[in-house]
Structure 1
Amino acid sequence: LGGQADYFIKPKTVEQLKDVVRRCNENNIRIYVMGFGSNLLISDKGLRGAVIKLEDEQFAQIEFDGEEVTAWAGAELSKLVLTCVEKGLSGIEALTGIPGSVGGAVKMNAGGNFGDFGAAVESVTLMDGRGNVFEKSKPELAFDYRRTNITAKFILNARLKLNAADSEQIMRTVKEIWIYKKNNQPLNTKNSGCIFKNPRGVSAGALIDRAGLKGLQIGGAVVSEKHANFIIAE
């Protein structure tokens, strides 16, 4: 789905990312940051500029230090959840079944009925549009419904504070959330996750359903018959 960008770049290290940012600035090339494509639809006309994706080994690390976890932006959210279950660390089970990368999940404070990512975030390491790297700690961060006060161009990693717990009990919670979502969401399809934010007091999916738009197709994008706030790829 969607058109092509002028440039698609996957730097391998933070230093390479700094160099890419510098070159883009020198040549007046607009920068777009892409996670795993959740909540994202790209115009068939494509993008004029450079799309940067942080997915190489350095950017996919998950590091453990007791009850603290440093998750890099390119780590897969589902892998982070399951790895924490294996380590007996509780606090992000609510992210079960949510597609995407850690960076994107932090930026939009991913979550749902069971809780949000921001509750576990202690600090984030960021890079601005000039290539400067800096950190923001919990008192400087604000997490709200599907938004944060993070304005930096790149999220490099997030440090999480979790709680030691019984792995089997955490896994039971994860399975309960997964079953609930599997019964109510099109998890077995190629989809971009929930697209629209819920207006206060009402479900966006219910509004789209009431408008009779389930099954609506434009090109290869289709409004899911199972949950109207999901757009799936035909």
Structure 2
Amino acid sequence: MSIFSGLDEIVETDYPLAKRTWYGLGGPADYLIRPQTVEQLKEVVQRCSENKIPIYVMGFGSNLLISDDGLRAAVIKLEAGQFAQTQFNLSEAGLTAWAGVELSRVVLTCVQKGLSGLEALTGIPGSVGGAIKMNAGGNFGDIGAAVETVTLMDAQGSVFEKSKPELVFDYRRTNITAKFILNAQLKLNAADPEQIMRTVKEIWIYKKNNQPLNTKNSGCIFK
């Protein structure tokens, strides 16, 4: 019986990871797994543990280099189903964003709903989970400033939360050590959508004049 029997619709074998990285580099992974729900993720983690299969977590693939030798492991990508959801609480200017949501989508949706606080993420390729893990940002701020709570899962499949007093957001790093970031609750500010859009455009123009936004790249590499 297959290790991932019953999960065939979310598991691909001998998957060429070059298809998933912005540089188009990376050999095959034994498994590429894309769970649709937290329960499916728990099941995958349990089976990997039982069969001693190493786990790697992949975000958007825009800040990642993988060897041509590939990975003798399961690469888990949270990008669909439950992990692609956003829930807004407009009365409290709050947002719950799941790990697989693309940053550009979050920024533009916040503009439409009149919520300010994530404009600094304009032009940054990535997903919410990866952005929180490395505290994505730039000259105009970073995502950590808006994070109130994160929901996490450890390598044993246990789900738990960490709130703002427990979190440390530093330059391109956090103190989050859990294997998976499932979602984050963000605290934003109600504002005029037109003003937010003006700010987004200003940041985009600044970045376009200083960075190669028209090409796929892995962000700041050389200093």
TM-score by length of 1: 0.83
The residue type paired with residue 36 of structure 1 is: F
Q: Give 1:50-199 correspondences, 5 Å limit.
A: 50-66=74-90, 67-194=93-220, 196=221
Which sections of structure 2, spanning at least 5 residues, go unmatched? 1-24
How far is 1:58 from its partner? 0.8
Mapped partners of 1:5, 1:152: distance in 2 = 22
Q: Does 2:39 match 1:15?
A: yes
Q: Which amino acid aligns with 1:54?
A: L
- Give distance in 2, aligned partners of 1:92 and 1:25: 37
User: Aligned residues, how many?
Assistant: 197
Counterpart position of 2:5? none
Partner of 2:8: none
Residues 116-145 of structure 1: CA distance to partner in whole angstroms, max 9, x if unpaired? 110000000000000000000000100000
Structure 1 residue runs of 5 or longer lacking an equivalent are 197-203, 206-234
Secondary structure of 1:78's partner?
Answer: helix
1:61-81: CA deviations, max 9, x gaps? Answer: 111012000000000001000
Q: CA deviation at 1:184?
A: 1.4
Taking every aligned residue pair, what percent have the same amino acid on both sides? 81
TM-score by length of 2: 0.87
3-state DSSP of counterpart to 2:219: strand
Structure 1 position 33 matched with structure 2 position 57: yes
Alpha-carbon RMSD across the aligned residues, in angstroms, is 0.8
CA distance in 1, matches of 2:175, 2:59: 18
Residue 47 of structure 1 corresponds to which residue in structure 2?
71
